[in-house]
């Protein structure tokens, strides 16, 4: 009997990089083993951001739930964490999603962009309270920052993409 890999997060981010380059975008894979704590993972992704460049990563950042009652998953929490740390600018598009389409909810993850940031301000959303309460799903739902794909039937890890426009 022989075993072989059909799909992996390395294959997924390599395909994402290839597609970005087809659109004449500079793309860089920074990690396929991003297992740092959520804040550190966000800092790592944003530490290499450049204009007109796509940063790609995969893994499953660590999130220790210390309180009951919230609703959301690791990816929605990562998206809000990047906002709370002031990492996301108006020219950034940050996606973080579960490849299986389910981030502890029917959402695959978060899309943080200029519109999401505007809605956070417009609705006076308290990001720090949402993070402290582990309540990222309803917060991003209100800010229109959820990615809903439905179940994909495949799980290779979480995928992260950061595009900084000119």
| Nearest CA-CA partner of 121 in 91, 93, 90, 147 | 90
Domain count, the chain: 1
Q: Examine residue 1 and state whether it is found in any structural domain, yes or no.
A: no
Q: Examine residue 54 and state whether it is found in any structural domain, yes or no.
A: yes
Q: Examine residue 60 and state whether it is found in any structural domain, yes or no.
A: yes
Structure confidence by residue, pLDDT tens digits, 23-41: 999 999 999 999 999 999 9
pLDDT for the residue 153: 87
Q: Give percent above pLDDT 90 in the chain.
A: 84
Model confidence at 55, pLDDT cuts 50, 70, 90, reads very high
Q: Examine residue 94 and state whether it is found in any structural domain, yes or no.
A: yes
DSSP three-state, residue 87: coil
Q: Examine residue 4 and state whether it is found in any structural domain, yes or no.
A: no
Average predicted confidence (pLDDT) for the chain: 94
pLDDT for the residue 8: 85
Q: Examine residue 18 and state whether it is found in any structural domain, yes or no.
A: yes
CA atoms within a 13 Å half-sphere pointing along the CA-CB vector of 153: 0
Helices (H), 4-126: 9-22, 38-46, 74-84, 114-122
Q: Examine residue 150 and state whether it is found in any structural domain, yes or no.
A: yes
Q: What is the pTM of this model?
A: 0.93
Model confidence at 57, pLDDT cuts 50, 70, 90, reads very high
- The answer to whether the CB of 26 falls within 8 A of the CB of 53 is yes
Block residue for tokens 């993409």: 161
Structure confidence by residue, pLDDT tens digits, 75-106: 999 999 999 999 999 999 999 999 999 998 99
pLDDT greater than 80 at residue 4:
no
Q: Examine residue 62 and state whether it is found in any structural domain, yes or no.
A: yes
pLDDT greater than 80 at residue 3:
no
Alpha-carbon span 36 to 41, nearest angstrom: 5
CATH number for the domain harbouring residue 36: 3.40.1480.10
Range of the domain at 140: 9-164
- The answer to whether the CB of 81 falls within 8 A of the CB of 72 is no
């Amino acid at each position: 009997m022989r075993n072989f890999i059909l799909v992996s997060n390395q294959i997924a981010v390599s395909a994402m990089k290839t597609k970005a380059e087809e659109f004449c975008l500079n793309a860089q894979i920074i990690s396929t083993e991003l297992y740092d704590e959520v804040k550190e993972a966000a800092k790592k992704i944003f530490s290499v951001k450049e204009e007109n460049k796509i940063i790609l990563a995969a893994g499953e950042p660590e999130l220790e739930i210390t309180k009951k009652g919230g609703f959301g998953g690791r990816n929605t929490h990562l998206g809000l964490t990047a906002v709370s740390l002031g990492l996301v600018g108006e020219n950034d598009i940050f996606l973080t999603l579960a490849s299986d389409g389910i981030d502890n909810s029917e959402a695959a993850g978060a899309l943080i962009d200029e519109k999401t940031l505007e809605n956070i301000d417009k609705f006076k959303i308290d990001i720090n309270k949402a993070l402290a309460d582990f309540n990222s799903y309803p917060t991003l739902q209100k800010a229109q920052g959820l990615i809903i794909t439905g179940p994909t039937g495949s799980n290779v890890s979480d995928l992260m993409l950061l595009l900084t426009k000119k």
